Amino acid sequence: MSVHISAKKGDIAKTVLMPGDPLRAKYIADNFLTDVKLVNETRNIFFFTGLYKDKEITVGASGMGCPSIGIYSFELFTEYEVDTIIRIGTCGAYSTDLKLFDILNVEHAVSESTYAKFAWGIEKEAILNQGNAFDKINETAKELDLAVKSTNIHSSDIFYRKDEDVPAIAAKYNCLAVEMEAFALFANAKHLGKNAATILTVSDIIPTREFISADQREQALKTMMELSLETALKF
């Protein structure tokens, strides 16, 4: 048990897949894992541990934003001996160079957030993914014949804003898309010497206001889920 997770020590696998949404964690557990056990439901942040092709994996939600993933990933790394966290989420594309359903493997997470500075004294705006998870995702994508684009992304604290222009920091680091969590995950992993990666599916194109509909979402996200599960077999 940790401050925010009620799972027993030993109930969480060394590799954790982390969608934002607790019901997405449940969907993965129901559809891809066997011998599943619900190991945490504090605050309805579900964590399930089960087997994928005989390998023990935990799938658990991060909630939204850097503060939330900062808490869960830190407790998983420090109190449950987790080695690798792969975030699997959605993002908004800043330009029409990306299309709906494109899958991204995050190189640097770029943010105006003070999280890394005030938590760990990391004074960087751009934090690299940590360890070998990023390379394993690209290897696995190749084996599955999936097109996955490696890119920098903007981890923003803001979803709604008055100014629709691409934020300056995103332009500075050539971030093709925006989400809200990878920066804190990478900062924690960097400080603790752990593995962390982020796979994103483009769910909306900001300049054209196109977005993946509710019925398209399940199939779209399935590809990313399979990629993350197949990658997890390599740890």
Stretch touching ligand HPA by CB under 6 A, among 47-55, 135-143, 168-176, 177-185: 177-185
Q: In this chain, which of 179, 188, 224, 228 binds ligand HPA, going by CB under 6 A?
A: 179
Residue closer to ligand HPA, measured from CB, 45 or 200 = 200
Q: Any contact of residue 90 with ligand HPA (CB under 6 A)?
A: yes
Q: Any contact of residue 204 with ligand HPA (CB under 6 A)?
A: yes
- 106 burial (CB, 10 Å; 0-12 / 13-18 / 19+) is buried
| 150-169 residues near ligand HPA, rule: CB under 6 A | 156, 159
Residue closer to ligand HPA, measured from CB, 93 or 148 = 93
Stretch touching ligand HPA by CB under 6 A, among 68-76, 129-137, 166-174, 201-209: 201-209
Q: Any contact of residue 178 with ligand HPA (CB under 6 A)?
A: yes
User: What DSSP state is assigned to residue 63?
Assistant: -
SS3 (DSSP) at 213: coil
Catalytic residue among 135, 165, 204, 215: 204
Q: Calculate the CA 69 to chain-centre distance.
A: 9
CB of 202 to ligand HPA, least distance (A): 8
204 is catalytic: yes
* Beta strand extents in 111-190 (DSSP E only): 126-128, 148-155, 177-179
**CA gap 69, 46 in Å, rounded:** 13
Which residues neighbour 222 within 8 Å (Cβ) at sequence distance 6 or greater? Answer: none
Which residues neighbour 221 within 8 Å (Cβ) at sequence distance 6 or greater? Answer: 24, 88, 90, 201
C-alpha distances (whole Å) from 20 to each of 55, 145, 171, 174, 234 are 23, 26, 25, 24, 23
Nearest residue relative to ligand HPA (C-beta)? 92
Stretch touching ligand HPA by CB under 6 A, among 87-95, 117-125, 135-143, 163-171: 87-95
Could you list the residues that contact ligand HPA (CB under 6 A)? 90-92, 156, 159, 178-180, 203-204, 206
Instruction: Tell me which residues are annotated as active site.
Output: 204
